[in-house]
Structure 1
Amino acid sequence: MTTATPTSTATVPATTFTECYLLSPDMIADPYGHLDALRAHAPVHWSPMHHAWLVTGYDQVMRCLRDPGVTADRVRPLMDAVPQGAREDAERAFGILSRWMVFNDPPQHRRLRQVFQEAFAARAVARYRTFTEKATRAVLARKAVPGRTGDLMADVAKPLPALVFARWLGIPRTDAAAFWYWNARVADLVLGTAQEESEYRASLQALVSLEDYLAGLVARRRAEPADDLISQVLKEGRVGESVTEEEFVGMLTQMAFAGGETTSNLIANTVLALHTRPGQLAAVRENPELAQGAVEEALRLDGPSKMSIRAAVSDLELDGHTLRAGDRIFLVTAAANRDPARFPDPGRFDVRRTGATHLGFGFGAHFCIGAALARLVAVAAVRTLVSDHPG
């Protein structure tokens, strides 16, 4: 813990605030009390501990998400975190990351995103509804072993998104184990879990292996189209015109990384929220259509994504503070989604909540392109779990 002190770029309020490191185990386990206090203290706060601005107010986060003077390009900070001994393995891996939509700003981001726009539209994703519902029942049937205690994450929340996303991407079952191993290691790199040099090496190599695998899969789908995302995008003809094949494959590594883990956590968080609130659980059981509202409330109240890191590309004024060019900015959406200025009684989980839009999937240019598919999978899982398997 440390107490924030003035810096040359910060105008610090008269009152002080004792802050905690946001990625500490205690904060990861339960960040919300601290984030509520931080937002009440100052919705825009300079943190010497994080060497960054912590933005926790809803309106202030939205301002940053809209501002072209705030960049999403954070490949360089990720590269800088790699231990010196692993740098020789990093060049190709970070070249792959530089092609991820999430690390690009408009107009480059727009050019990359439009390649997937049709494939990710809600109407296109809806055709996977039947497969998702069947997969949900199949996964639940496998866990229903008499005398066995169930494990929500291991039995349902992890395998269900893996099944759906593998089907959607066209990953053969024989390749699934390696595919998801690579994704887990890539997550270690991108989410900052990797700490030791050996962990960085494993993550960097996994990203390269994932790209090699997907490049091979793209080549096979050119020769033998199938009913999957890669074939659909290739058929539309933008690869080779709007984007290069290298860019397309790089973006596929982002799709692979983003799909499974976040949806698994969304399912688990929604079910946990319902089972710790009997009244809300009863409402969803009585009206399964409220499963959609339950998923949205989980995204708001305890979503898988807690913050997004940005940087200022030029000086900007925010809530009476001057953010200097080059300053890091932590957009703490987990705090913004509980801002009482936007959400009445923000700590209450309400499957019928209406009003302000939560930021669980981001906003604007970087709104999660896979949101429709993630919602489809999560709602199917929650509806079936609470209706057909009340335990």
Structure 2
Amino acid sequence: MTIAPARTERYLLAPDMIADPYDHLDALREDAPVQWSPLHHAWLVTGYDQIMRCLRDRAVSADRVRPLMDAVPQGARDDAERAFGILSRWMVFNDPPQHRRLRQVFQEAFAARAVARYTAFTEKATRAVLTRKAVPGRTGDLMADVAKPLPALVFARWLGIPPTDGPSFWYWNTRVADLVLGTAQEESEYRASLQALVSLEDYLGDLVARRRAAPGDDLISQVLKEGRVGESVSEEEFVGMLTQMAFAGGETTSNLIANTVLALHTRPDQLAAVRADPDLAQGAVEETLRLDGPSKMSIRTAARDLDLDGRTLRAGDRIFLVTAAANRDPARFPDPGRFDVTRTGATHLGFGFGAHFCIGAALARLVAVSAVRTLVCERPGLALAEPDRLAWQPSLLNRSLTALPVHY
């Protein structure tokens, strides 16, 4: 079948697309929810039903370690072998049945009832961060003051990272994010990211040994106690997956907090609704995940030829599952461009779906809702300082502000 290229093609990393991609993504979906992009050398899948089909179809593979490795400059390749071996153990880059085997090790620890144990700690940490950083009357950066340190506190406590190790641990995570999210550009940045991933694995391997000798009240100790490490997964696989947990938790939740605060403070009616009923903070977080969430797309590969919406995708083709477009699909969401904290109905794809649904969703929601509810209800003077001068990180995958200046 002849490939029909996108008729409204734009480079998704162009500055205006980074600032606001949604009109263009809507146009792509309306033109054809599955279309080939010569510019990105990938299929752009923008329709809700079409993405759901891909997320259920084993012909669509999540294994993208090789494309990540191919992006590394030649001069940094000598540092890459071990680092990409670690990435190959991330369950997010594995397909069933391997993915299921790896994920089951963490299933109990991530269950809603297990995460709920951290509610009191999260609320206490939220107020501590706000007391220290969000002092009424001062101006600051909500990203640096609240959105980044709060998830760091909670996730470090959850993983069992001693406070004295925090600075190194979060530095490594930041560098790993540069690699995985595609923001590393120069050879020196790739080298720093690759070395950070190796250092993170070394550190977590040592921490596992310490927790085996002296268990604590944390994720690592809980999983070790269940006895699956060494049986259903190897120790090497377990430590490799911990590097994924360490990377994924803070980045996604930080962006979710900041994006929700921005969404509410640019929509006075929705802000007022949450202040009148603090339980609607949950609805605000869900609407942000749908309308302007931390993830814009995920990348897949066709494991074999498949037909999708009348298009023939060939084995080896790259596929961009543009959830940021699917979450605004009018076929699934009435008045899809409206931010409505009371919205019910179709499930958004902000945390994915099916086998690859984000395993940390419950913990991310817990932290984000606590932060949003406390900021909205206990900081009534909070206001955006420069709403017309916001900048976003250049990334195909994530939606992240560089800063969020506010008056506390």
TM-score (norm 1): 0.96
- Amino acid in the other structure paired with 2:226: E
Deviation of residue 148 (structure 1)?
2.1
Q: Which residue of 2 aligns with 1:229?
A: 219
- Amino acid in the other structure paired with 2:198: V
Query: How far apart in 2 are the matches of 1:76 and 1:86?
Result: 15
Query: How far apart in 1 are the matches of 2:166 and 2:158?
Result: 13
- Amino acid in the other structure paired with 1:358: H
Deviates more, 1:151-160 or 1:101-110: 151-160
Cα deviation 1:8-52 (Å, max 9, x = unaligned) = 75245xxx6231121233212211111011111111010000100
Alignment partner of 2:293 out of 303, 317, 325: 303
Distance 1:292 1:147, change over 3 A: closer
Query: How far apart in 2 are the matches of 1:210 and 1:27?
Result: 33
Query: How far apart in 2 are the matches of 1:10 and 1:328?
Result: 14
Q: Give 3-state SS (helix, strand or coil) of 1:18's partner.
A: coil
Alignment partner of 1:340 out of 325, 330, 337: 330
4+ residue runs of structure 1 moved beyond 4 angstroms?
Answer: none
Query: How far apart in 2 are the matches of 1:146 and 1:165?
Result: 27
After superposition, where does 1:77-96 map in structure 2 within 5 Å?
77-96=67-86
After superposition, where does 1:313-352 map in structure 2 within 5 Å?
313-352=303-342
Instruction: Kindly indicate whether the alpha-carbon contact (under 8 Å) linking 1:10 and 1:323 is maintained by their aligned counterparts in 2.
Output: no
Q: Give 3-state SS (helix, strand or coil) of 1:19's partner.
A: coil
Q: Give 3-state SS (helix, strand or coil) of 1:106's partner.
A: coil
Q: Which residue of 1 aligns with 2:117?
A: 127
Cα deviation 1:243-290 (Å, max 9, x = unaligned) = 000000000000000000110010011111111111111111111111
Instruction: Kindly indicate whether the alpha-carbon contact (under 8 Å) linking 2:136 and 2:379 is maintained by their aligned counterparts in 1.
Output: no
Q: Does 1:377 align with 2:367?
A: yes
Q: Give 3-state SS (helix, strand or coil) of 1:380's partner.
A: helix
Q: Does 1:270 align with 2:253?
A: no
Query: How far apart in 2 are the matches of 1:29 and 1:102?
Result: 27
Query: How far apart in 2 are the matches of 1:144 and 1:226?
Result: 32
- Amino acid in the other structure paired with 2:76: A
Deviation of residue 144 (structure 1)?
3.9
Q: Which residue of 1 aligns with 2:12?
A: 22
Q: Does 1:10 align with 2:3?
A: yes
Query: How far apart in 2 are the matches of 1:73 and 1:351?
Result: 35
Q: Which residue of 2 aligns with 1:4?
A: none
Query: How far apart in 1 are the matches of 2:170 and 2:56?
Result: 34
Deviation of residue 147 (structure 1)?
4.5
- Amino acid in the other structure paired with 1:221: R
Deviation of residue 150 (structure 1)?
2.9
Q: Does 1:164 align with 2:154?
A: yes
Distance 1:232 1:9, change over 3 A: farther
Q: Which residue of 1 aligns with 2:55?
A: 65
Distance 1:144 1:62, change over 3 A: closer
Query: How far apart in 2 are the matches of 1:147 and 1:380?
Result: 22
Cα deviation 1:38-94 (Å, max 9, x = unaligned) = 111111010000100000000001100000110000000111111111111100000
Query: How far apart in 2 are the matches of 1:363 and 1:51?
Result: 25
After superposition, where does 1:249-288 map in structure 2 within 5 Å?
249-288=239-278
Query: How far apart in 1 are the matches of 2:138 and 2:371?
Result: 20
- Amino acid in the other structure paired with 1:90: A
Query: How far apart in 1 are the matches of 2:231 and 2:132?
Result: 45
Q: Which residue of 2 aligns with 1:38?
A: 28
- Amino acid in the other structure paired with 1:248: F
Cα deviation 1:105-159 (Å, max 9, x = unaligned) = 0000000000000000000000000000000000111124465213211111111
- Amino acid in the other structure paired with 1:236: E
Query: How far apart in 2 are the matches of 1:171 and 1:25?
Result: 37
Q: Which residue of 2 aligns with 1:180?
A: 170
Give percent identity, aligned residues only.
88
Alignment coverage as a number of residue pairs: 381
Give RMSD over aligned pairs: 1.0
- Unpaired segments ≥5 residues, structure 2: 383-408
Q: Which residue of 1 aligns with 2:100?
A: 110
Instruction: Kindly indicate whether the alpha-carbon contact (under 8 Å) linking 1:9 and 1:323 is maintained by their aligned counterparts in 2.
Output: no
Alignment partner of 2:302 out of 307, 312, 323: 312
Query: How far apart in 2 are the matches of 1:133 and 1:150?
Result: 21
Q: Does 1:136 align with 2:126?
A: yes
- Amino acid in the other structure paired with 2:254: S
Query: How far apart in 2 are the matches of 1:25 and 1:129?
Result: 39
Query: How far apart in 2 are the matches of 1:165 and 1:25?
Result: 32
- Amino acid in the other structure paired with 1:277: R
